[in-house]
Amino acid sequence: MLAHARHDTAPSPALSAVPKSAPERARSVPAADVASIGLSQPSDWVEMLELVDRCFPYATEDMMGWWLCYQRPLLHVARLDGRVAGFVHVQARPESDTLWINILAVTEEFRHRGIARQLLAHCERLAAEWGLGRLGLQCHEANASALRLYALQGHAQVGEDFHADAGGRYIVHDKALPASAIAAAVRTPAADPRWRCIAHRLIYRAWTRRRARTTR
């Protein structure tokens, strides 16, 4: 459970999944598919929440609700074939000139098709637009496929952190972005209007109640 996950400034452990079993390999998939990446919509929620349930057992419904309803500009979804192929939640940390990646996940059937690489490239574009010069994240020490992905994408391992409530030891990563691409001033995205947050909150509450009834 991530008690501090609601606050933008809190040190997030980056919901780096602890792999549950042998990594699925799907080498026979066709060459890279280009996903369209945009802000999350309520129609994406069930697929996103189910993906989180499968990958991040310690993520709470509360935390996801907070992100979906109040932090939509920070939650970017990759869509392919009308499905949620993956998503990323980011956080601007101007004090360290960093766009921090809190969570990155790709739906199982879309893995090994370059979706995570595209989401990381998208994060680099966001960082540049928002005037931030670095990407940061944490990854569980046993998450071999994610560690390989970050190494291949040029993220350096710069430290480690321990989260007893989220599976143990995490490797802290950092990537400096080319200075020429970064906007001159830090400009983080506007929050959603209040009416939309409230509407999303109502939809989310109805969904969690329905889910609680059906899983009882």
Residues at the contact surface with ligand COA, assessed by CB under 6 A: 16-17, 27, 29, 31-32, 55, 104-106, 111-117, 139, 143, 145-146, 148-149
- Return the C-alpha torsion angle 72, 76, 82, 85, nearest 10: -130
Contacts 24+ apart (CB under 8 A), 201-209: 201/65, 201/69, 201/70, 203/42, 203/45, 204/45, 204/65, 204/68, 204/69, 205/65, 207/45, 207/46, 208/61, 208/65
- Say how many C-beta atoms besides its own lie within 10 A of residue 131's C-beta: 17
Nearer to ligand COA, 124 or 200 (CB): 124
Contact 85, 30 (CB under 8 A): no
CB 35, min distance to ligand COA, A: 9
Nearer to ligand COA, 91 or 182 (CB): 91
CB 160, min distance to ligand COA, A: 14
CB 85, min distance to ligand COA, A: 8
Nearer to ligand COA, 104 or 128 (CB): 104
Nearer to ligand COA, 93 or 112 (CB): 112
CB 123, min distance to ligand COA, A: 12
Contact 177, 128 (CB under 8 A): yes
CB 164, min distance to ligand COA, A: 18
Nearer to ligand COA, 117 or 122 (CB): 117
- Three-class SS of residue 102? strand
Nearer to ligand COA, 45 or 56 (CB): 56
- Say how many C-beta atoms besides its own lie within 10 A of residue 120's C-beta: 21
DSSP category for residue 74: G
| Distance set, CA 93 to CA 10, 38, 159 (Å) | 10, 21, 18
